[in-house]
Amino acid sequence: MKKLAMSLLLLVTAQPVIYCGHGDGAAVAAGLGGLMVGSMLGSAASDSRRHSRVEEKVDRVQREKDQEKVSQLQREVDKKEIENKLEQQRLMDQQRLLNLQQERDRSNTMLYILLGVIILLFLIVIGLGIFVVNARRKHD
């Protein structure tokens, strides 16, 4: 690129000298016009390159922002998944505790029924003993 620019610059500077020998002023004007057109084309090309670099930077920044948004959304989704799993685990733990409490209540109820039956049988045995003792006294 530098070689091309240097050769164009040398041709533009050498052209007026070559044509000035023929005595016409048109060659100088053409050389200066060519220089102006060449400089306009060069500045337009550099602006377009600069513009394309700016577009590339804008695209890169936009991609980075999009990637950041995606990663932020992914973190939010992961966080919600973890919260849902924790909520499900908490519900399962509550269900287990409820089941354990119901089992405990059933076993306590069975224990009370068994104790009631034992006390009832004990009272029946005592009542029979008293009945037998009274029956023997009447017989004797």
The domain segmentation of the chain, as residue ranges, is: 2-139
- Residue 57 has what pLDDT? 84
**Residue 23 structure tokens:** 């005595």
- Residue 65 has what pLDDT? 92
* pLDDT band at residue 39 using 50, 70 and 90 as cut-offs: confident
Question: Which residues does 120 contact at the CB level (< 8 Å), separation at least 6?
Answer: none
**Residue 16: Cβ within 10 Å count:** 17
More confident residue, 28 or 63: 63
CA-CA distance, 53 to 68, in Å (whole number)?
A: 22
Question: Which residues does 38 contact at the CB level (< 8 Å), separation at least 6?
Answer: 8, 12
Give the pLDDT mean for 25-36.
66
* pLDDT band at residue 51 using 50, 70 and 90 as cut-offs: low
- Residue 12 has what pLDDT? 64
**Residue 102: Cβ within 10 Å count:** 10
- Residue 22 has what pLDDT? 54
CA-CA distance, 129 to 122, in Å (whole number)?
A: 10
Question: Which helix (H) or strand (E) element contains residue 26?
Answer: helix 26-139
* pTM given for the model: 0.42
- Residue 112 has what pLDDT? 94
CB contact burial 71-84 (16+ within 10 A = b; e otherwise):
eeeeeeeeeeeeee
Residue 47 has pLDDT above 80, yes or no: no
